[in-house]
Structure 1
């Protein structure tokens, strides 16, 4: 359904926070697309990773109380969407057939992009658009073959992620309805 090298989960996105603190970016994190913290640049030059500019103060560190009354806030804010994205990508990593759709060796950058997108969609910080522009989901998925098998695999992993949140039924169903409709709308190949 999604691909970290596809535009929605594009590997050319802005730098990401360190994997030691998935929900709260910190200065000194590795450059986007880089190996684990403390490594060298992914371009093969062996240069040390550069610090992450702009995470603090770019909207991602906003006071979470600013989102009171939104679905984002009602379901638990950043922590809930961090857990959702993390659980989803755990499922992707454990599914060799579906994992093959994700060319990046490290799924963490895609996990962070999904988290930021969902936070914004449900009324949280607008960091996703600040960094990546308008989501344009359908357009960004067109280069990737999303058939019914890919759609169903994506939905299976997302269902497990939603269920792992143990949200009240109405909130869980609200999330699931969105994911089900989005997955079906992004299918771009027959079969």
Structure 2
């Protein structure tokens, strides 16, 4: 992923940096708590930590600070999610909540499409169980 766009700005910078990603992730996690499929997969006693990790992961992915790797090492997304049955239904719930998060921020249609494309591919990649 080439995160540097026109004018030398990263996609992270173009979309408004950490505040934008924090808003997306906060809205996403608002929905996770009560979601019947996703809620049980998330650590009730560490929901704030999970939210922080996703925020740092996305920030780093899009060209922001490398806080995620500094704190957690390589993302190893499939390995980290292996203990959970990520079905197509779980993917659909995850994407619906993430869509709500993206709808909370003021991205251009092109930025939204790029962000959405990435999270859709990532969600598809995480499927590890049959429905």
What is the TM-score when the length of structure 2 is the normalising length?
Answer: 0.89
- Equivalent positions of 1:150-189 (< 5 A) are 150-189=90-129
State the 1:189 CA deviation: 0.4
Tell me the distance in 2 between the aligned counterparts of 1:160 and 1:113: 19
- Equivalent positions of 1:92-131 (< 5 A) are 92-131=32-71
Deviations 1:26-85 (A, max 9, x none): xxxxxxxxxxxxxxxxxxxxxxxxxxxxxxxxxxxxxxxxxx610000000010011111
- Equivalent positions of 1:28-177 (< 5 A) are 69-177=9-117
Larger Rg: 1
State the 1:136 CA deviation: 1.0
State the 1:143 CA deviation: 1.7
Provide the secondary structure at the position in 2 that maps to 1:105: helix
Which structure's residues are more often helix, by fraction? 2
Tell me the distance in 2 between the aligned counterparts of 1:166 and 1:95: 25
Does the aligned pair in 1 maintain the 2:37–2:93 contact within 8 Å?
no
Unmatched 5+ stretches in structure 2: 1-7
Provide the secondary structure at the position in 1 that maps to 2:45: coil
Q: Which has the higher contact order (CA 8 A, sep 6+)?
A: 2
**How many residue pairs were aligned?**
124
State the 1:104 CA deviation: 2.4
What is the TM-score when the length of structure 1 is the normalising length?
Answer: 0.62
Unmatched 5+ stretches in structure 1: 1-67
Deviations 1:115-152 (A, max 9, x none): 00000000000010000000011122112110111111
